Chain A
Amino acid sequence: MASVRDLRDRIRSLRNTQQITKAMKQVAGAKIRRAEQLQAQSRPYADALAAMLQDLLAAVGSVNHPFMKPGNPEAPLGVILLTSDKGLAGAFNANLIRMADLLQRAQPDVTWYAIGNKGRNAVKRFAQDTAATWSLSTQDKLLTAQACAQQVSDDFTNGKIRGVSLISPKFVSTLVQRPQNRTILPIAREETTAAATSEKPRGAVEFEPSPELVLSRLLPKYLEFTLYAAMLETDAAFFAAQLVAMNNATENAKKMIDQLTIVMNNARQAAITTEILEIVGGAEALAK
């Protein structure tokens, strides 16, 4: 049996761990709120963008933009893996990476892009060619989204990749974040109109310079914003996962402290009992 002092040391170190996990939990809680706020602030933009896109698509008959046509069928598929930069969030990143890994096994012909350091490291492990990577937690996420959108759309229009998929977490609730895989290039016509608000068509609309030209400027913006929104969602989902993971860690530490305290008390009592028995035994031996 471990000595009382050893047990006391272990309990002390557990308390320290508990304090750290508790602090991280509180920080994650505050950061979720911030991330959700950013998401809410981006919604008016999303609505306006979707409404404009809907009007445009209604105005142009057949769309002749490279983003809406299938890409070079011989080229590899481009996949963007979106993860967080840091860990300590349970299986959050592992789930995303597993999804990417399964895809890699099923379809070895993939060009990888990664946003988030965890994804970058994973992709470097299982794939030979990574086209480009970015960090998630930068000052200006919009710039990162723009850089990434530009990179994948250039590769797509130049025929280096046949399409672009995005693996990112879906923020279902604080307790549940599910990885999802969706195609973002070529852009499906139905998808864009489904995202629009249910306002009715507004009749004849004038476009300047021309509907096709406005559309050719709007589609890259749409792509950029899709990535930006996904990055915000990743952030919110990550902090939610971290909150849950740190909450569990704090509770587990508490359980272990309680158990070890009992063991320590037993050990201390045993030591006292032994000592008393020794004294009594010694006294009796002297009395004889």
Chain B
Amino acid sequence: MAKTIPFALITPTAIVCDSEAELVIAPGAEGEVGILPQHAPYLTALKPGVLRINLVDGDTQRRLELATSSGFLQALPNRVVVIVDAAFEPNQIDVDSAKADLEAATKRQQAANGDLTLYHREQEKIDFAQAKLTVASHSSMLAN
């Protein structure tokens, strides 16, 4: 049985990651989903959150953690594809601006006043900002 599966993380501006993966854990719209090799064909919407991938490069393993915006994940028999608008690695995250985004979006959400569309839009921004902060704090914990 194949232990790994080709994985690609694609944004409109770049292919962020394209390599063999052992496990992909993604923030699905209905809760986290974990994808192992030989998963049944599967397509789900992703909400903004933390995407974790166990990458395998020859004998070395690497755990990749990224903050992603909303998008989609598709598991095909021969590969796993994730498309999102934006994906940030820990070193690309500006903690201060993420905090500012979080605050601004929370304020706007509180002012939404029953406008559900606006409420959900702001929720996405809140989730994305929180994901950025989570990823950044994890990586700083590892560094210490």
A48, A55, A208: the one contacting B83 at CB < 8 Å is A48
Contact with B along A46-77 (1 / 0, CB 8 A): 00110110011000000000000000000000
Known: A56-B43, A142-B85, A206-B43. A217 touches B29 (CB 8 A): yes
**Complexed CA–CA distance, A48 and B15 (Å):** 11
Q: How large is the interface on A (under 10, 10 to 19, 20 to 34, 35 or more residues)?
A: 20 to 34
Is B44 within 8 A of A208, CB to CB? yes
Which residues in B have their C-beta under 8 angstroms from that of A202? 41, 76-77
- B40 close to chain A: CB less than 8 A: yes
Q: Which of A41, A45, A221 has the most chain B CB within a 10 Å cutoff?
A: A45
Query: Could you mark each residue 180-218 of chain A with 1 if its beta carbon is under 8 Å from any beta carbon of chain B, else 0?
Result: 000000000000000000000011111111000110011
B4 is an interface residue with CB less than 8 A from chain A? no
| Complex alpha-carbon distance, A49 and B71, angstroms | 10
Of A38, A44, A52, which contacts B43 at CB under 8 A?
Answer: A52
**Any chain A CB within 8 A of the CB of B58?**
no
Q: Are A208 and B41 in contact (CB under 8 A)?
A: no
Complex Cα spacing A52 to B44, Å: 10
> A142: nearest residue on chain B (CB-CB)?
B12
Residue-wise, chain A 23-54 has the 8 Å CB interface mask toward B (1 for contact) of: 00000000000000010011011001101100
Q: How far is the CB of A157 from chain B (nearest CB, A)?
A: 10
Tell me whether B93 is interfacial, beta carbon within 8 Å. no
CB within 8 Å of A: which B62-109 residues: 70-72, 74, 76-77, 81, 83, 85-86
Q: How far is the CB of B38 from chain A (nearest CB, A)?
A: 14
**Complex Cα gap A135–B42 (Å):** 39
- In this complex, which of A49, A202, A206, A208 has the most chain B Cβ atoms within 10 angstroms of its Cβ? A208
Residues of A within 8 A of B43 (CB): 52, 55-56, 205-208, 214
- Which residue of B14, B15, B72 contacts A214 across the interface (Cβ within 8 Å)? B72
CA distance A154 to B118 in the complex (A): 11
Q: How large is the interface on B (under 10, 10 to 19, 20 to 34, 35 or more residues)?
A: 20 to 34
B13 at the binding interface (Cβ < 8 Å): yes
Whether A112 sits at the interface, judged by CB under 8 Å, is no
Structural contact, B77 and A45, CB atoms closer than 8 A:
no
CA distance A49 to B76 in the complex (A): 14
Given known contacts A56-B43, A214-B43, A41 and B74 CB-to-CB distance under 8 angstroms: no
CB distance from A200 to the nearest CB of B (A): 12
Least CB separation from B77: chain A residue: A202
Q: How far is the CB of B6 from chain A (nearest CB, A)?
A: 13
Nearest CB in chain A to that of B14: its residue:
A41
Asked whether, in the complex, the Cβ of B42 is within 8 Å of the Cβ of A44, the reply is no
Residues of the B chain whose Cβ atoms lie less than 8 Å from the Cβ of A208: 28-30, 33, 42-45
B-side contacts of A44, CB under 8 Å = 8, 10, 15
Which of chain A's residues has its CB closest to B31's CB? A208
Interface centre among A44, A56, A209, A213 (most CB of B within 10 A): A44
Contact B10 A209 (CB under 8 A): no
**Is B123 part of the binding interface, using a Cβ–Cβ cutoff of 8 Å?**
no
Q: Report A's interface with B, CB cutoff 8 A.
A: 38, 41-42, 44-45, 48-49, 51-52, 55-56, 142, 146, 154, 202-209, 213-214, 217-218, 221, 225, 228
Closest 8 CB pairs of A and B: A208-B44, A205-B41, A217-B45, A206-B42, A45-B12, A48-B83, A45-B10, A42-B12
Some 30 contacts from A to B, beta carbons below 8 A apart, are A38-B13, A41-B14, A41-B15, A42-B13, A44-B15, A45-B83, A48-B81, A49-B72, A49-B83, A52-B74, A52-B83, A56-B43, A154-B117, A202-B77, A203-B41, A204-B41, A205-B43, A206-B40, A206-B41, A207-B43, A208-B29, A208-B33, A208-B43, A209-B29, A213-B45, A214-B43, A217-B29, A217-B45, A221-B71, A225-B12
